[in-house]
Structure 1
Amino acid sequence: MEKLLDQFSFGLFFWQLIILVIIIFILGKFAWKPIINALEEREDGINNALQAAEKAKLEMARLTNENEQLLKEARAERDEILKEAKSLKDKIVAEAKNEAQESGRKILEQAKKEIEDQKNKALAEVKNQVSSLSLDIARKVLTKEFENQGTQQAFVSDLLKDVKLS
Structure 2
Amino acid sequence: MGLVMPEFGLFFWMLVSFSILLLVLKRFAWGPILKALSDRENLIIESLKSAENAKEEMKLLQSGNEKILKEATLERERIVKEARDLKESIIRDARHEAGIEANKVMENARASIEHERNAAISDIKNLIANFSVEIAGKILEEKLADEGRQKELIQNYVDKINLN
TM-score by length of 1: 0.68
Q: Out of 110, 116, 119, which is 2:118 matched to? A: 116
CA distance in 2, matches of 1:29, 1:120: 130
Q: Which runs of 4+ in 1 moved over 4 A?
A: 25-28
Instruction: Tell me the CA shift for residue 36 of structure 1.
Output: 2.5
Instruction: Tell me the CA shift for residue 119 of structure 1.
Output: 0.3
1:96 aligns with 2:98: yes
**Greater relative contact order (CA < 8 Å, ≥ 6 in sequence):** 1
Q: How many residues align?
A: 135
Matched with 2:39 is 37
> Counterpart amino acid of 2:145?
T
Q: Out of 67, 70, 77, which is 1:68 matched to? A: 70
Q: Secondary structure at the match of 1:143?
A: coil
Matched with 1:82 is 84
CA distance in 2, matches of 1:69, 1:36: 48
Instruction: Tell me the CA shift for residue 129 of structure 1.
Output: 1.3
Q: Out of 47, 50, 69, which is 1:48 matched to? A: 50
Q: Note the residue ranges of structure 2 that are not aligned, 5 or more in a row.
A: 1-18
Instruction: Tell me the CA shift for residue 102 of structure 1.
Output: 0.3
TM-score by length of 2: 0.69
Q: Note the residue ranges of structure 1 that are not aligned, 5 or more in a row.
A: 1-18, 158-166
Matched with 1:126 is 128
Q: CA RMSD in A?
A: 3.0
Cα deviation per residue 1:13-34 (whole Å; 9 max; x = unaligned)?
xxxxxx7xx69x6586344333
